[in-house]
Amino acid sequence: MGKKVILGMSGGVDSSVAAALLLEQGYDVEGVFMRNWDSAANSDILGNPTAEDEICPQEVDYADAQKVAEQLGIKLHRVDFVEEYWNRVFMYFLNAYKAGRTPNPDIMCNKEVKFKAFLDYAMELGCDYIAMGHYARVEHGVEESQMLRGLDNNKDQTYFLSQLTQKQLGKTLFPLGELQKSEVRDIAQRLGLATAKKKDSTGVCFIGERDFTKFLQNYLPAQNGRMKTLDGRDMGEHIGLMYYTIGQRKGLGIGGAGDAWFVIGKNLKENVLLVGQGFEHEYVYADEAIITDVNWIPKARFEGKFSCTAKFRYRQADVAVFLEWIDETTLRVKCQEPVRAMTPGQAAVFYSDEACLGGGMILSAFKDGVKREY
């Protein structure tokens, strides 16, 4: 019997194929389905449930995970992390929005639930490793583990895994890291897995696909205000600063001649949404940022200035940067070229070639030494 691996099974094709690959590699595999969001418990907040809530997609996913587990002959556990998700992820999510930032719940979900609460649970089951269906790679060395980009550039998920620690990585396997998404689909169809043709989920981690503004309004009451240009011209009313992100085009309701209108900044003190015309509006660009809550994956921390690349949003092209520590968990990042829509609350993730070095949260952005009203 090989080493024991506890695999997170979501009821999707990726984790299904991950289970099959681990079995082929000789591991003793058990699956765990995580329940992290309770629509029924929140029905008083959400109001009348949508058809999606009534169908209860989590139960559909659980049934799919059960089908695959039965096909592969592995045991499937079910665990409830609703409280952990609410306290560690969703409250962080809401508090960031209240502060005018645009958070990334998937990163916090990986840090606090999938690779923390889940890992603790898996250790109780006697695992040697945990595994997930993420598109990333991990190399386990004698002294430390290294996280590498997934070989499928379009699916690489290291951006969302940048808060993982050495302890977490040392216990983690990513069976799909060497594969293209098309290969994963092919394997699922070849094996006849129940999830082979199931579409990928694209919603917020565990909350699902929803009208996000309406969903958020159930938890954070709107505070309407004015939309203005940098020179003070009034362009209409916004529904609440928290519902907009830097560089956003949709939902502004501003017509007229000329280029399209975009969100270019936020004046939190006066509750004003700054807007401007043109995708390349100068105010949307920044060349420096302060990054807080930094998780540095390598054991050795650099001294002085450090050259690497960074992503300031998922699927953004890498940007050459210089890093400098301000304190133990805060970095000053200087970009070698201006970056569009460097949004407070989003993640800045650092790379050295294929290796993910870690990341943190964008606190503030600057252009030519002047702080942007983001």
Active site residue ranges? 109, 205
Number of DSSP helices (H) and strands (E) in the chain, helices first? 11, 18
**Both ends of the chain: CA-CA distance in Å?**
55
- What single-letter amino acid sits at 47? G
Distance CA 344, CA 99 (A): 10
**Backbone torsions φ then ψ of 230, nearest 5 degrees:** -60, -30
* CA 8 from centre of chain: 17
Q: Please tell me the distance from the alpha carbon of residue 319 to that of residue 339, in angstroms, as a whole number.
A: 8
Three-state SS for 46?
helix
Angle at 192 between CA 187 and CA 195, to 5 degrees: 80
How far apart are the C-alpha atoms of 29 and 20, rounded to whole Å?
Answer: 9
SS3 content of the chain, % helix, strand, coil (to 5): 30, 30, 40
Give the 3-state secondary structure of residue 76.
Answer: strand
CA distances from 98 to 92, 101, 243, 259, 276 (A): 10, 7, 10, 31, 24
- Range 127-150 burial, b when 16+ CB lie within 10 A, else e: bebbbbbbbbbbeeeeeebbbbbb
d(CA 162, CA 298) in angstroms, rounded, equals 11
Q: Count other C-beta atoms under 10 Å from residue 44's C-beta.
A: 8
Q: How many residues does the chain have?
A: 374
Residue 75's SS3 state is: strand
What tokens does 101 get? 């930032």
